[in-house]
Amino acid sequence: MHKPLRVIGYVRVSTDKQDIGPEVQVAALTAEAARLGWDLDLRREDAASAKSLRGRPVLAAALAELKAGRADALAASKLDRISRSVADFAGLLETATEQRWAVICLDLGIDTSTTTGAAMAQVTCVFAEMERKRIGERTREGMAKISPEARERMRQSPGRPRSLSPAAEARIRELRAGGSSLAAICATLTAEGVPTATGGRWWPATVRGVLAR
């Protein structure tokens, strides 16, 4: 007899008036747990934003338990309960694969503990890569329209770090030495609140550049 899947059900509540309420999220997760026989552990977090893992200690604690092998899967009723960025979600999927735990997202039909759900996750990653490329293209097009003088003023603008801190570079090398992929390193740095040189998001290309030095 197979042991039931130990699932952490993540419920995020924000202040958005049109936000999906906690009762709806709990009902969806509970129904799926009953249907599939999960050992469900519900966790609720009151957090206004899902743009990153920063400021979400409940989710961070859940990820730590998954990494330690104390749970088998992380489940949410909708993708935006975990992240509103498909690219960040793809990084989470990669981390889950490396650490051998599953991601379940009911609205997208993703359940990486199953063959079909894992295939849906791969499709999500493909669209995430397309999103990253489009963002890169728009950034390059925008920068091409800015004069060299303006770009130099932007680079030297006060209040923005001009290079990564030694601590950030050391953390990147530590994660890589531990076997983490570039995307997984980006997800970890974001979760830990490590700032980039420009104050923006972490990209695999940035991490690759640090490792190449």
Distance separating alpha carbons of residues 89 and 190, to the nearest angstrom:
12
Determine phi and psi for 174, rounding to 5 degrees.
-65, -45
CATH assignment of 6-123, among 3.40.50.300, 3.40.109.10, 3.40.350.10, 3.40.50.1390: 3.40.50.1390
Distance separating alpha carbons of residues 121 and 111, to the nearest angstrom:
8
Position 193 pLDDT exceeds 50? yes
Position 94 pLDDT exceeds 80? yes
Average pLDDT, the chain: 80
Express each pLDDT in 52-68 by its tens digit.
Answer: 556 788 999 999 999 99
Position 198 pLDDT exceeds 80? no
Distance separating alpha carbons of residues 38 and 33, to the nearest angstrom:
5
What would the DSSP string read from start to end of 7-73? EEEEEEE-S-TTSPPHHHHHHHHHHHHHHHT-EEEEEEEE-S--SSSTT-HHHHHHHHHHHTTS-SE
Q: What is the mean pLDDT of residues 28-50?
A: 89
Q: What integer pLDDT is reported at residue 114 of this predicted model?
A: 84
Distance separating alpha carbons of residues 29 and 43, to the nearest angstrom:
11
Position 29 pLDDT exceeds 90? yes
Q: What is the mean pLDDT of residues 29-43?
A: 96
Q: Where do the domains of the chain lie?
A: 6-123, 160-213
Determine phi and psi for 103, rounding to 5 degrees.
-120, 130
CA 184 to chain centre: 9
Position 105 pLDDT exceeds 50? yes
Express each pLDDT in 128-152 by its tens digit.
Answer: 566 656 666 666 666 666 666 565 5
Q: What integer pLDDT is reported at residue 160 of this predicted model?
A: 46
Residue that is written with structure tokens 């997208």 in the block: 108
pTM metric for this prediction: 0.57
